[in-house]
Amino acid sequence: MASYEKYLLPEVLQKVTRLDLRAKFLVEGFLSGLHESPYKGFSVEFSDHRKYVPGDALKLIDWKVYGKTDRYYIKRFQAETNMECHLFLDRSGSMAFRPRTLPHRFMTKFEYATAIAAALGYLMITQQDSVGLVTFDESIREYVRPRSKRTHLGNILSILSNCRPEGLTDVSGSIHKAASLLKKRGLVVVLSDLLDDPDAIENALAHLVYRGHDVIVFHIFDAAETNFPYKGGMEFEDPETGARLKVDADAVRADYLEAISAFVADIRRRCRLRGVDYVQLDTSVAFDQALVSFLSNRKRNFL
């Protein structure tokens, strides 16, 4: 079967449609009150005139000015294009974590990140901006160049619907590799649990900023990772390596919560140092409310 044909299967189309509707509900419903997004595209606008010199395109001559002055002047424009948004989605095994004790209470981290990515993609396309997609685990798995056509969003949603979180994590290495693929400055949205070395993550984000990108990090946790609702004897399994660890949950709870709090504070500090917007989320927070809140705050910061 050709690779594109799997997107035409009824069960895949159903998933894509459901994802698309979820994005529409968020953007058209919850964001309708914002009226104006902070993510603005740019148009080609007239700037000023300069004298004609040999080699200039004749079509740029302002003939009205020539009629008044008997001199040749060239129209100059601010040649800017619509903004590009690049969605960096972590599809490593840790993003599939779901507590066995609460198997269906919330979305997985990957499902949560996918919902946000779909909503942002829909938002950019409806504003006639371009959106692209990078999925990664220990390396880049899919790279979709940014485009602004409505049909392009369908392609992205198909990929999102068919992604499966698996494999090891190399967040920093993948971001470095992806940064070299982006030829134009734009908005980069990283959706990940950031389970990597903080120094390496900071360097990777700094790489994006150095290349002129506006960067937003959505740091996504499972609710159980931030609340640690476990009691008594527990056996935990690493979703990427399969390694197992038996612990007394009551005995380690305080130390664990202190460690996770310190980890979040460290990542937030590093993002602030590099001029990166940082948003901590967990799967107990409705993704639409979280995204609307962030976009509202970001808009106020632009005004």
pLDDT digits (tens, 9 = 90+) for 285-299: 888 778 877 877 776
For residue 144, is pLDDT > 90? Answer: yes
Residues 200-253 pLDDT 10s? 999 999 999 999 999 999 999 999 999 999 999 998 888 888 899 999 999 999
Residue in the block written with tokens 């290495």: 173
In terms of pTM, does the model score above 0.95?
no
Domains of the chain listed by start with CATH number: 3-36+82-302 (3.40.50.410), 45-78 (no CATH)
Q: How far is CA 184 from CA 84, 156, 211, 212, in A?
A: 8, 19, 9, 9
For residue 67, is pLDDT > 80? Answer: yes
Residues 176-199 pLDDT 10s? 999 999 988 899 999 999 999 999
What's the CA gap between 74 and 58, in Å, rounded? 8
Mean of the per-residue pLDDT values for the chain? 83
pLDDT at 184: 87
pLDDT at 287: 80
pLDDT greater at residue 77 or residue 86 = 86
What's the CA gap between 57 and 209, in Å, rounded? 36
pLDDT at 208: 96
For residue 78, is pLDDT > 60? Answer: no
pLDDT at 74: 78
For residue 111, is pLDDT > 70? Answer: yes
**Where are the alpha helices (H) located in 56-197, listed in sequence order?**
63-69, 109-126, 150-162, 171-179
Rounded average pLDDT over 146-174? 91
Rg of the chain in Å (alpha carbons): 23
For residue 302, is pLDDT > 60? Answer: no
pLDDT at 70: 86
286 burial (CB, 10 Å; 0-12 / 13-18 / 19+) is: middle
Q: How many beta carbons lie within 10 A of that of residue 271, not counting itself?
A: 23
pLDDT at 51: 77
Rounded average pLDDT over 141-146? 95
What's the CA gap between 131 and 120, in Å, rounded? 9
pLDDT at 24: 72
Rounded average pLDDT over 270-286? 93
Judged by average pLDDT, the poorest of 40-54, 79-93, 135-149, 153-167 is: 40-54
* Buried residues in 196-206 as b, exposed as e (16+ CB within 10 A): beeeebbebbb
Residues 250, 261 contacting (CB under 8 angstroms): no
Residues 3, 12 contacting (CB under 8 angstroms): no
Judged by average pLDDT, the poorest of 92-96, 99-103, 219-223, 248-252 is: 99-103
Residue 57 structure tokens: 């395109």
pLDDT at 38: 43
Residue (of 120, 172, 142) closest to 279 by Cα position: 120
pLDDT at 36: 45
pLDDT at 17: 65
Residue 130 pLDDT level (bands cut at 50, 70, 90):
very high
